[in-house]
Structure 1
Amino acid sequence: MSLDDDGTRDGAAPIDTLESYFEAHGWAVERLGEDEIIATVQGSWTQYELRGVWRPEDRVLQFLALPDIRVATDKRAAVYETLGLINEQLWLGHFELWASSGLVLYRNAALAEGDGGLGLDQAETLVETAIDECERFYPVFQFVLWGNKSPGDAIAAAMIETRGEA
């Protein structure tokens, strides 16, 4: 496959583009049929599962990042409040809590252009935004779940900008 002028691969389905992107970074990749792919990447805080699910009938690629955060039933109210405060700060995608499993995840979607392809630049934006937001907000969830901080205090503590290096 070759790259077109617009950065897409000739005839590449969105899952194929994601697979090429993941493999180029050396990440572990597993295909689950033609329309789903999973990769794992080590972040600063934890290992992230990245999942792409292609819906050809809608021409939509769902992109999920799971930061390995499980929420016990007694902490869900605080996490729902935390999600609301975090999502107010996001421009792309959102965090949510899957009620059935208690998993926190980041979700975004991309509409495929004309031929149903996904450009490499679009794939990069989906993946890098998901990882960046998970890295940025992972400490917030930890402060709420393990540090017993209020959602507002957790965000304030995690969002402190440091200057320089120690």
Structure 2
Amino acid sequence: MMDSDEYENGGQEAAPIDMLAAYFEAHGWSYDQVGEDEIVASTQGSWAQYELRGIWRDEDQVLQMLALPDIRVNEDKRGAIYETLGLINEQLWLGHFELWSSSGIVLFRHGALLGAGGTLTLDQAQILVETAIDECERFYPVFQFVLWGGKTPAEAISASLIETRGEA
């Protein structure tokens, strides 16, 4: 496992779960390693507490990053949320949002094919984690507008994705 000094010097490579552990530790986030192939961390965003999961599949050389923004969807809202997911996912270059049908949980998922070496660099770890958090932060209001604000998916996206310019 990398120590914090190695992490801060940058440029290192490590086993994916070890690199994520070093990244989380350097940021002061609480985390637990679940076996050799999974790590779970928690961080506070602007809108919610996010659970981050890194899952390594050695046989495929794929690291899957999940971010769960603590959004649960009741049966009666699932149709609107599926439409919302479609509109949101059209706007993403990396990863996608999905709704787990068994639990009603919304999450962001991105997979990274690491190749034969099976190592993760600091830059890759940072991109995976920051992309997951950034997308959750960006689209959290959309889900809230649909679930609690009575807006249609299209209205929610229009209201949430207005870019402001200048300073107040």
Q: Distance between the aligned counterparts of 1:7 and 1:107, measured in 2?
A: 25
Q: For residue 76 of structure 1, what is the aligned residue in structure 2? A: 78
CA distance in 1, matches of 2:115, 2:127: 15
| Equivalent residue number for residue 33 of structure 1 | 35
Q: Could you tell me which residue of structure 2 aligns to residue 62 of structure 1?
A: 64
Distance 1:96 1:88 in 2: 12
Match of 1:143 in 2: 145
Q: For residue 11 of structure 2, what is the aligned residue in structure 1?
A: 7
> Are the counterparts in 2 of residues 81 and 151 from structure 1 also a CA contact under 8 Å?
yes
Q: Distance in 2 between matches of 1:78 and 1:148?
A: 10
* Residue 107 (str. 1) matches residue 112 (str. 2): no
* Partner SS state of residue 60, structure 2: coil
Residue 84 of structure 1 and its aligned partner are, at CA, apart by: 0.1
Q: Structure 1 residue 165: deviation in Å?
A: 3.6
C-alpha separation in 1, matches of 2:132 and 2:92: 11
Q: How many residues align?
A: 163
Task: Give me the whole-angstrom Cα distance separating, in 2, the residues matched to 1:152 and 1:32.
Answer: 39
Please name the residue that 1:24 is paired with: 26
1: CA distance, partners of 2:115 / 2:23: 18
Distance 1:69 1:85 in 2: 17
Contact 1:63 1:107 in 2 (8 A): yes
TM-score (norm 1): 0.93
Unaligned runs of 5+ in 1: none
Choose the corresponding residue for 2:89, options 87, 97, 100. 87
1: CA distance, partners of 2:106 / 2:18: 26
Q: Does the Cα contact within 8 Å between 1:8 and 1:117 map onto a contact in 2?
A: no
CA RMSD of aligned residues (A): 1.6
* 2:158 is the alignment partner of 1:156: yes
Q: How far did residue 163 of structure 1 move?
A: 2.5
1:148 Cα deviation (Å)?
1.0
